[in-house]
Structure 1
Amino acid sequence: MTLRSDTDIAAAPVPMPELQFGLADPAVAATMTGLEQMQAIVAGRLPAPPIVETTSQWIHELAPGRITFLGDPHPRFLNPMGLIHGGWSMTLLDSALGCAVQSTLERGETYVSRGTEVKFIRPVLAQTGQVRCIAEVHSRGRSTATAAGRIEDATGRLLATGTTTCYIRAMG
């Protein structure tokens, strides 16, 4: 599901879509694949998790095993040094990496993160403008998946990278 192409943010920031926030009914989620769950969030048929509203980070493009998030590094995320707090970038990577894994889940499966590692390449500033985070699943086994991702500014300049390992299990 492509909402706009990756090159669009270089021309102009993409506004966060109008979404409802909350948690999906677990009984409903159990009837859907991970990809179907995320497609339903993007389409407004399921609520987006509250963290989307809190962090100004959302799904922009979605395909099996690959996802792009966009994020707006607002001044409310500044740390005492005047930089966007590293936790904001870590959250963006963690969300994109986890959703890339989620997009591979079958009905009745869920996942939890076993570990995520982030490397900061350049600082994110409030004036950096909208960033994109692209994450891709590298391996998907019966009980473990790994993914890697990157955060870029609107010109494609690398800001941070991350990897994750997730444990896949049955819901419930």
Structure 2
Amino acid sequence: MFEPAPIPEYNVGIADVSVVMSKTGKELMQGIIDGETPAPSMAKTMTHWIVRIGDGEVEFRGEPSAAVMNPGGIVHGGWAMTLLDSALGCAVHTTLEKGEMFVSLDTSVRFVRAITPQTGQVRCIGRVQTRGRRIATADGLIEDQKGRILATATTSCFIQPIGA
């Protein structure tokens, strides 16, 4: 269970590559929280944001709204998938050394409960399970304010030097 967090003012844009290369992944993630590094513009579009980072772990929040509903009257699964993909990827990102980047190899999502605008703010936790030299795996979940699991996901990511 958790208390809702206020939606932050978004500093969105494209980070300078030289800045990205000079920081660890964890430093970049903290820079987004602190507003020093721009968040991806889709974070504002999808109304989700990073609340907390750790070593191999991140916590996102998301605000589902009528703007992301499907024809069936529930929040589109793509919204939940994007939130999970962001949290799992950012968890992996916290493990990157200076000059490293990653790309997702695969992501698997399972929907457990419907999300609607009435669900209110949700929390998404991503955690790294394994981190090798080239491959990392992570898992995560979305939960509502009552602690009910709404969706789960796993991912694997390929790690490489920037520019390789």
TM-score normalised over the length of structure 2: 0.97
Q: Which residue is equivalent to 1:123?
A: 114
Q: CA deviation at 1:148?
A: 0.4
Match of 2:101 among 110, 120, 124: 110
Q: Distance in 2 between matches of 1:69 and 1:100?
A: 10
Q: Which residue is equivalent to 1:55?
A: 46
Q: Identical aligned pairs, as a percentage?
A: 52
Cα-to-partner distance string for 1:96-127 (whole Å, 9 max, x where unaligned): 00000000000000000000000000010110
Cα-to-partner distance string for 1:11-41 (whole Å, 9 max, x where unaligned): xx21211121101001111000000001011
Q: Which residue is equivalent to 1:100?
A: 91
SS of 2:113's partner is: coil
Query: For 1:15-30, what aligned pairs fall within 5 Å after superposition?
Result: 15-30=6-21
Cα-to-partner distance string for 1:32-87 (whole Å, 9 max, x where unaligned): 00000010111111111101100001001110100110000011001000000000
SS of 1:61's partner is: strand
> Structure 1 runs of 4+ off > 2 angstroms?
none
Q: Which runs of 5+ in 1 are unaligned?
A: 1-5
SS of 2:49's partner is: strand
TM-score normalised over the length of structure 1: 0.93
Q: Distance in 2 between matches of 1:169 and 1:37?
A: 17
Aligned residues: 163
- Cα-Cα RMSD: 0.8
Q: Which residue is equivalent to 2:129?
A: 138
- Between 1:41-50 and 1:94-103, the stretch displaced more is 41-50
User: What amino acid sits opposite 1:83 in the alignment?
Assistant: I
Q: Which runs of 5+ in 2 are unaligned?
A: none
